[in-house]
Amino acid sequence: MFKWMKEPKNKYDFTNKDKCIDNKISYMLARTQSMFEYKNLPDTLNSRIIELYLQVNGNICITDIDQNIIDKSGHPELKSGLYCFTGGLGGEYDVYYMPTIYTVSNPYLNFSKNLKIDEDCIVIPSDSMYYGLMPMFRKYATALTENEISMNIATIVLRLQALISAGDDNTKKSAEKYLNDLVSGKLGVIAENGFLDNSLKVTPYSTSGSHSTIQNIIELEQYLRATWYNDLGLNANYNMKRESLNSTESQLNDDALLPLVNNMLQCRKEGFDKVNEKYGTNITVELNSSWKSNAEAIDTDIEDVKDDGIQETE
């Protein structure tokens, strides 16, 4: 936790792919924490943990932990009540080949048990495929990391305006001092005659293609980020035409934004309806933040289109 407080304040390492990918996934998970709003949760359930478990693990199990288990755990600060766990799905498959057992192991509670689904616990999937968001996040985070490495290399290559070669050590030292003076903002002074004769050669290096390369890399960056947000139900348009988009074009992808989000919302609603029925709670879940406003905007656009169609028909 709070790794930045312990790590040395050095430069960002673009070549450490694993860390770059993990960073992007963590930042996106922080954003998607705002996707749903939970109300009437008991004190023993935490909305952050619920969403983190669902999005990362693909499913959660909610069960009632009684006071006997709390007492045996040796943690008197805990309360009896509903708790959220991740675990493994298994057991004998039912008629629709769905698992019937959820295996839980929690060292802090000293609680390990094979819970019978819908009897001992309620299982809530993140989506109808029990997938979660991690496969999507890994794909985009990996692609963006590779693209950022390409951009970093292209940016460094832009610095190369000429190739300088020296015939001897003295000429090399004079050339290095001259360049260092220029970098420091000083007027360079040539100290060796060899600097001007055949001992030093400066060959211009053409980088005419670097600018178009960087432009292509930036466009790919925008495309990957926008597609990632679109897959999560947020409207982030990318313009590959390099010109302005009209309102009709900018709304072309609206139909593709909400199906996954709606599926995730439906799974949560159905899951917590079962929790409410079994344990007598009144937990509700709805879209939140940008996802809520985006869904409302799309619904408004659909109603406007319907109204326009009715008026034209009349």
10-residue mean pLDDT profile of the chain (314 residues): values are 59 90 97 96 96 98 96 93 97 96 96 97 98 98 96 81 74 78 71 60 65 87 94 79 52 72 97 98 96 85 56 54
Looking at the structure, do residues 103 and 150 belong to the same domain, yes or no? no
Tell me, yes or no, whether 264 lies in a domain. yes
User: Greatest CA span in the chain, whole angstroms?
Assistant: 92
Looking at the structure, do residues 267 and 128 belong to the same domain, yes or no? yes
- Determine the distance from the C-alpha atom of residue 235 to the mean position of all C-alpha atoms in its chain, rounded to a whole number: 15
Tell me, yes or no, whether 198 lies in a domain. yes
Q: What is the pLDDT of residue 265?
A: 97
The string of DSSP letters for 9-47 reads: -----TT-HHHHHHHHHHHHHHHHTTSEEEES--TT--H
- CATH number of the domain that 269 lies in? 2.40.500.10
Q: What is the pLDDT of residue 166?
A: 75
- Determine the distance from the C-alpha atom of residue 209 to the mean position of all C-alpha atoms in its chain, rounded to a whole number: 32
**What gap in Å lies between CA 219 and CA 39, rounded to an integer?**
41
Tell me, yes or no, whether 212 lies in a domain. yes
Looking at the structure, do residues 237 and 308 belong to the same domain, yes or no? no
Helix axes 134-157, 208-231, angle to 10 degrees: 160
Tell me, yes or no, whether 3 lies in a domain. no
Tokens for 50, please give them: 């619920």
Sign of CA dihedral 70, 75, 76, 82: negative
Looking at the structure, do residues 87 and 185 belong to the same domain, yes or no? no
Looking at the structure, do residues 219 and 230 belong to the same domain, yes or no? yes
Instruction: Confirm if 54 and 126 have CB atoms less than 8 A apart.
Output: yes
Count of CB atoms situated within 10 Å of the CB of 299: 11
Q: What is the pLDDT of residue 281?
A: 97
Residue that the structure tokens 């450490």 belong to: 16
Q: Three-state DSSP class for 79?
A: coil
Count of CB atoms situated within 10 Å of the CB of 96: 5
**Which residues constitute the domain of residue 151?**
135-253
Tell me, yes or no, whether 9 lies in a domain. no
Looking at the structure, do residues 289 and 222 belong to the same domain, yes or no? no
How many independent structural domains does the chain possess? 2
Q: Give me the amino acid identity at 65.
A: I
The residues near 19 (Cβ < 8 Å, ≥ 6 apart) are: 13
Query: Which of 247, 248, 285, 280 lies closest to 265 in space, CA to CA?
Result: 285
Looking at the structure, do residues 171 and 28 belong to the same domain, yes or no? no
Tell me, yes or no, whether 4 lies in a domain. no
Could you tell me the CA-to-CA distances from 68 to 71, 105, 109, 201, 280 in Å, in that order?
A: 5, 17, 11, 84, 21
Q: What is the pLDDT of residue 200?
A: 67
b/e for 241-251, b at 16 or more Cβ within 10 A?
Answer: eeeeeeeeeeb
Tell me, yes or no, whether 7 lies in a domain. no
Looking at the structure, do residues 167 and 209 belong to the same domain, yes or no? yes
Q: What is the pLDDT of residue 171?
A: 75
